[in-house]
Structure 1
Amino acid sequence: MGSAGGWRARIGVVVPSVNTVVEPWFSAISPPGVSVHASRMFLDDALTPDSIIRMDRDEGMRAVRQLASCRPHAVAYCCTASSIVQGLEYDRHLQHEVEQAAGVAATTATQSILEAARVLGVKRVAAASPYTEEIDKAEHAFFESAGLEVTSSACLGIKDAFGLAAPTPHEIHELALRAWKPGAEALLITCLNLWSQTVIERLETELGVPVITSTQATLWRLLRIAGIDDKIPRYGKLLSAH
């Protein structure tokens, strides 16, 4: 039996050291009886493919093994950019590697997004991100390689990894509207260090399509593989209906 806080499930998150979104939000809205536990990977301030790859190589599995010591029921590797700059095959390998190191079911941010799209019946998305154009282009290539067509997009061009969390809900909403073009079946907002979940409900009402975010999809998938099926309101169709 788990501790009082995690009597239903302990969910584990591996986050870049700069992330200030995942732990507070996951903890705030996880269902009663679910506790959230984290370990961190050092990431340089400069947000580049090289710095992300270096974080994964030097810190990733150490952080997973550290997290495994609190015996989580499921683990999420919470860095969308890690997978998008290294490709779909790397992402699949990463998920397997995390599962082997942690000894439990695991997901990545991108695998969570792809599963969310499958469950929602979505194959064409408008994509918004806070990333630089270089990382944003890699993101489009990643999702296209996984069978998800990116029909339109917009990015903020943020180069500072800590600064990914700086955009306000208003700024994120404006970014999403710039990315949106009719014809997409859903709106996708990436990055787990962006407060994208704050605008999901408003955007779904305005656009009339599902909104998938890295934050929302990763929490959804993590809860489901941990055996928690509770529906959570106010953060879009994915969490409230699936």
Structure 2
Amino acid sequence: MTALGLVHPGHGAEDDYPRIEQLLGSDIRVDLVHTDLGEEPRRAEALRAAGLAERLTAGVEELRLAGAEAVVWASAGGSFSHGWEGAQQQVRDLARAAGMPASSTSFGFVHAVREVGARRVAVGTAYPPRVAELFADFLRAGGVEVVAVRDGGDPPADGVAGWGEERVLALARDADRPEAEAVLLPDTALHTVSCLPELEKELGKPVLTAAQVTVWEALRLVDRRVHAPRLGTLFTREPVVQV
């Protein structure tokens, strides 16, 4: 049994993780602990506050006792909003507190883009413009070329956790560009697992989403590869050798 630990910001689309667990097979377990997300979590300042060390490390003892072999901070905005260097320190602090390998969703996106062999990507998100651009800056710091960013304007009043498949597909279509080799949907509050095959069929290219990337990053930390086509190209490709 491989046990993966996720530190999840508040509540939203966390029910995507049991779906992923079912698709991965019976020898992989995904455990979550929840942090205090605070107010107005889609604003840059609130996202940075959500990723403070004292919030991230509060639940790691529970994960350790559950037998987790690696831990991932399952928040894109709560990591990339700290910038590349700040997010690296965040991961180091988390690893030290947990006593196991650690990463975050934001670094998972950078690693996943390399895994699928993409160099140019388009981003589709419900983040407000300032936050969306922080994510694009983070990707660029990781060596990823961002050809387009489709932001969400002001934060949606209804939240994104309630978006259905058609709205998620529309977001991906609006974000895509012909020159993009992959499309990234970084919102951890979006439900995307059930429509990953449809997203990739619609766009004809890899689509990387927050929950999918987060679990893949945890598996990468423990050196596990799982073939799970219903979780998209990321879970079907052989490793890409970067030169």
**TM more than 0.5:** yes
Residue-by-residue CA offset, 1:54-82 (whole Å, 9 max, x unaligned): 22224112123442232311111100001
- How much does 1:124 deviate? 0.6
Which residue of structure 1 lines up, in the alignment, with residue 22 of structure 2?
28
Native 8 Å contact 1:74 1:104 kept in 2: yes
Question: What is the letter of the counterpart of residue 211 of structure 2?
Answer: T
Which residue of structure 2 lines up, in the alignment, with residue 50 of structure 1?
45
- The answer to whether structure 1 residue 130 and structure 2 residue 123 are counterparts is no
* Alpha-carbon distance change, 72 to 241 in structure 1, aligned in 2, over 3 angstroms: same
User: After alignment, is 206-215 or 9-18 more displaced?
Assistant: 206-215
* Alpha-carbon distance change, 66 to 162 in structure 1, aligned in 2, over 3 angstroms: farther
Q: SS of the counterpart of 1:231?
A: coil
Q: SS of the counterpart of 2:26?
A: coil
Which residue of structure 2 lines up, in the alignment, with residue 16 of structure 1?
9
2:35 to 15, 38, 41: 41
Residue-by-residue CA offset, 1:177-204 (whole Å, 9 max, x unaligned): 1111111111111122211233322232
Which residue of structure 2 lines up, in the alignment, with residue 98 of structure 1?
94
Whole-angstrom distance in 2 between the partners of 1:29 and 1:161: 32
User: Normalising by structure 2, what TM-score?
Assistant: 0.88
Which residue of structure 2 lines up, in the alignment, with residue 82 of structure 1?
78
- The answer to whether structure 1 residue 237 and structure 2 residue 233 are counterparts is yes
Native 8 Å contact 2:2 2:27 kept in 1: yes
* Alpha-carbon distance change, 171 to 211 in structure 1, aligned in 2, over 3 angstroms: same
Which residue of structure 2 lines up, in the alignment, with residue 152 of structure 1?
148
The 5 A counterparts of 1:108-187 are 108-157=104-153, 159=155, 163-187=159-183
Whole-angstrom distance in 1 between the partners of 2:33 and 2:73: 10
Native 8 Å contact 1:106 1:225 kept in 2: yes
Native 8 Å contact 1:128 1:189 kept in 2: yes
Whole-angstrom distance in 2 between the partners of 1:74 and 1:24: 17
Between the aligned residues of both structures, percent identity stands at 25
Whole-angstrom distance in 2 between the partners of 1:113 and 1:23: 17
Aligned residues: 235
Which residue of structure 2 lines up, in the alignment, with residue 5 of structure 1?
none
Query: Unaligned stretches of 5+ in structure 1?
Result: 1-7
Superposed CA RMSD in Å reads 2.0
* Alpha-carbon distance change, 105 to 112 in structure 1, aligned in 2, over 3 angstroms: same
Native 8 Å contact 1:153 1:178 kept in 2: no
- How much does 1:162 deviate? 8.4
Residue-by-residue CA offset, 1:119-165 (whole Å, 9 max, x unaligned): 21211101011211221111111111221111112123463698231
Which residue of structure 2 lines up, in the alignment, with residue 4 of structure 1?
none
User: Normalising by structure 1, what TM-score?
Assistant: 0.88
2:57 to 33, 57, 61: 61
Query: Unaligned stretches of 5+ in structure 2?
Result: 239-243
Residue-by-residue CA offset, 1:55-114 (whole Å, 9 max, x unaligned): 222411212344223231111110000122110111111222211111112221011111
Whole-angstrom distance in 2 between the partners of 1:38 and 1:62: 12
